[in-house]
Structure formats: C-alpha cells, structure tokens
Structure 1
C-alpha cells in the first residue's frame, strides 16, 4: 500500500480564490465542489463557497482547501502550519517563488542558505505561509 500526505487548507470564504491562485502559480487541474454541489448548504449566502477543492499538477504539486462554514469555529492562528515546496531544480523554485510572492509578505527572501542553495519563506495574500527550497541530501 502507498500513501501520500497533502496539505489541506481551511479558509473562510476565499478557498476558491486561493485555489485559483495556486493553479496560476503551479499549473495543473483545479477541482472545486461548492456546498450547493455537495447538497450541504447551511447558509444560502455560502452556497457557492467550497466544501472541497484541490489543485493537482503533473509536477507532483497537490493542495486541497475548503471554506469553513460560519456555523463552525475557525481561527487561522499564528504559525499554525507551513506549506513546504521542495524541488531539485533551482529555476523551477525561482519561477514558483516569483508567482507565489505576488501580494505576499516576505519573511525570508529567496536566497542561498546554510542548508540549501535556495530557501525562502513568505505569507501569501490568503494568510498561508509557504516555504520554498531546493532540496539537497542531508549529511549527518
């Protein structure tokens, strides 16, 4: 049996916009299922919000997101999680960084680090913190 771990982002009212943005950054296919589509509308004003969505690209990128309904508690918190994008091609990481950094707050500019030829951290316009780096073998 094989498994994989996929980041699933919980947002409030802007999951579709976030997934559309991530698709513009990483490419791939977007699937979006609204509460209306899923026949699970609690509040008519939220019928077109996402009960589930994902972006999947041929490069291996995958992320899921949904809109937490207003009837449920939700607090994005501080530093609750980071989404890490690791690759072996510096140009590919630079390209993702260039697109992902639109309207973002940069915590660490994309630059060489002691553990990686390129490393950077930013918080995007949706409040999600991303870490991008070029992966290298770890020597004990």
Structure 2
C-alpha cells in the first residue's frame, strides 16, 4: 500500500509549484492542464478561465512524491487537519527551509528544541499548507 498527499490549490497550483521549486528544490515530473484532456470536460465543470489551469501534476520533494491540482473550483477552502512533515539532518537546513516556507505565510510554532528533537517547528506557507520541520541528528 502506498499513501501519498494530493493537494488542491484552487487556481494557484502553478504558483505553488514555482514556490516549492525555489523553497524546497521540488522537481516537477508531470504536469497536465485541463486543456490537455483528450476528452471534452462536462459543461460547467470548470470556472471560466480554468482551461489552462493544472488538472494534475506530480512533483518530488527529496524522496517523496506529492500530487497536486487546481481542482475544479475557484473556492478557497484551505488545508485543515493535516501537516506535511519534513525530516532534516541539521538545524541550519531546517532554519533555511522554515524561513523559505514562511515567506508570506505564518509561523505556527517557532523552530526550537523539543524533548524529541534538537530543532522542531511548524509553519503554514502562503498557500495554507502546514509544514512540520523536524531535525533528526
């Protein structure tokens, strides 16, 4: 069994991919737009102007593959009830990534020492995705 995260960015997927490339070194392996569909989409399925939006994409952050889309709605429901967790080898790397992800976002728990990690923190990025950074030395 394989469980993978699938994120819906409601019109901001391409912007998120650009951000994750810069902040995390993400590598996009597949990107399909709604206009790439060989079958016509049902009438009224997409908001106007969504034809060039991302229907499906896969990107890799380190060893993990994440999938994403703009979805079929321009609504902004947000991401609730989960965080993506990143395990890092050093506090310096955690600080670099925490700072990058936090640009335009919101710190939920500043990086600091915990009983399980020399450096742990939680930050919500500008797209509303919560990230937990954990250093294992």
Shorter-chain TM-score above 0.5? yes
User: Residue deviations 1:8-33, cap 9 Å, x none?
Assistant: 11221111111211111111422321
Point out where structure 2 has 5 or more consecutive residues left out of the alignment: none
TM-score (norm 1): 0.79
Q: Distance in 2 between matches of 1:88 and 1:130?
A: 16
Q: Secondary structure at the match of 1:21?
A: helix
Name which of structure 1's ranges 102-111 and 80-89 shifts more when overlaid on structure 2: 80-89
Residue 74 (structure 1) shift: 7.4
Q: 2:14 aligns with which of 13, 16, 31?
A: 16
For 2:81 and 2:3, how far apart are their aligned partners in 1?
17
Gapped regions of structure 1 (runs ≥ 5): none
Q: What is the TM-score of this pair, normalised by structure 2?
A: 0.80
Provide the C-alpha distance between the structure 1 equivalents of 2:2 and 2:91, rounded to a whole number of angstroms.
24
Cα distance 1:124–1:28, how it changes in 2: closer, same or farther (>3 A)?
closer
Alignment partners' CA distance in 1, 2:127 and 2:23: 14
Q: Distance in 2 between matches of 1:21 and 1:85?
A: 16
Alignment root-mean-square deviation, CA: 2.4
Count of residue pairs brought into register by the alignment: 131
Query: Corresponding residue for 2:97?
Result: 96
Deviations 1:56-77 (A, max 9, x none): 14x3243221111029x87336
Distance in 2 separating the partners of 1:95 and 1:70 = 33
